[in-house]
Amino acid sequence: MNSIQENDDDTSCAPRRAPILLAVLSAVTFLSFGNAHAADVVAANSKATIEELERRPIPGTDLEMRLNLVTQPPGYSAPLHHHPGQGFVYMLEGTAESAYGDEAVKRFQTGEHRTEPANVAHPIARNPDTHANRRFLVFSVNRPGEPSTVFP
């Protein structure tokens, strides 16, 4: 007959469990704060990618039209900049927060579009999502040789 002996003294296991419990709590705390900090560092050091899909002269003008695919990593925030040419932005995936000049921040989702005004400060241009990329198309009209984006 098997019998299980119960220990009336519950404190006998406590000294052995305390270091294990302390190690588990320390690891959870470290990983929680460590991962949050790591996400901030990755977002701060990550860069957007810009792929030029098309560039064509506009006949009868000194202008050209451009089509770019922009991908921004989670948490990305662009520094203050402006766009010399008029543009249109179409959101392919993700979420965007954007503001031009002194306007309030506006949020855009997949499938939405907006106008990018020429030569107006663009202080807010970010991907607020901490887990997903933001991808969008930019159609713009510029002078040949002119950058699409100017950082002061």
**Tens of pLDDT, residues 36-63:** 333 333 344 479 999 999 999 999 999 9
- 5 secondary structure, DSSP code: P
Q: What is the pTM of this model?
A: 0.69
Q: What H or E segment, with its residue span, contains residue 98?
A: strand 95-99
Residues 87-109: pLDDT tens digits? 999 999 999 999 999 999 999 99
What average pLDDT does this structure show over 24-33? 35
Domain ranges of the chain: 12-44, 47-142
24: left (phi over 0), alpha (psi -120 to 50) or beta: alpha
Q: In what order do the strands lie in the sheet with 106-109?
A: 106-109, 95-99, 124-126
CATH number of 47-142: 2.60.120.10
